[in-house]
């Protein structure tokens, strides 16, 4: 059976291509780039018992977008029935950009922040730091012998 080639309709092709380009442009406007964050210790879930702020996670970025959204997973410790709580903060180029509380209730807490990177758009490399400190809990025992620990995980760091 013979096969027939369909005549090419240039107007139809242009319309399809125009729609496809518009679709791709909308999709690219919604994309988010993930920024890597690394623990400063040897484990993926960082445990810290410091009573002064210490960096637990960090990363470097050359800002090409205006916002960095960071999602956190935090957990206070429990030593001999005493719950550990604390505080966290995010620093952008050595400046505190967001803060929060780690509740002393021995359950996971999902928190996050949106950081404005607009002032750093012309900077080659910007350091992002996540820091914690213990403000309550036991004073002896626990993972390091000095009381309860704060566990932290960066769930996501999205540039958009």
Residue range 53-76, pLDDT digits in tens: 999 999 999 888 899 999 999 998
With beta carbons less than 8 A apart as the criterion, state whether 72 and 111 touch: yes
| Domains along the sequence of the chain with CATH | 33-159 (2.60.120.260)
Q: What's the residue count for the chain?
A: 160
With beta carbons less than 8 A apart as the criterion, state whether 118 and 38 touch: no
Instruction: Output the six-digit token pair for 144.
Output: 């390091």
Query: How do residues 113-142 score in pLDDT, each as one tens digit?
Result: 999 999 998 888 999 999 999 999 888 888
The closest alpha carbon to 41, from 18, 57, 64, 61, belongs to 57
Query: How do residues 76-87 score in pLDDT, each as one tens digit?
Result: 889 989 999 999
With beta carbons less than 8 A apart as the criterion, state whether 89 and 98 touch: yes
With beta carbons less than 8 A apart as the criterion, state whether 154 and 112 touch: no
């Amino acid at each position: 059976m013979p096969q027939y080639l369909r005549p090419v309709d240039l107007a139809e092709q242009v319309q399809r291509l125009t729609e496809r380009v518009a679709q791709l442009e909308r999709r690219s406007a919604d994309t988010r780039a993930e920024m890597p964050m690394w623990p400063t210790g040897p484990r993926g879930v960082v445990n810290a018992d410091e009573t002064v702020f210490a960096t637990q996670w960090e990363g470097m970025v050359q800002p090409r977008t205006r916002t960095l959204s960071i999602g956190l997973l935090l957990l206070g410790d429990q030593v001999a029935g005493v719950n550990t709580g604390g505080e966290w903060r995010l620093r952008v180029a050595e400046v505190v950009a967001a803060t929060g509380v780690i509740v002393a209730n021995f359950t996971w807490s999902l928190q996050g922040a949106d950081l404005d990177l607009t002032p750093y758009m012309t900077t080659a490399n910007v350091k992002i730091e996540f820091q914690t400190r213990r403000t309550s809990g036991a004073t002896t025992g626990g993972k390091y012998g000095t009381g309860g620990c704060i566990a932290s995980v960066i769930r996501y760091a999205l540039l958009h």
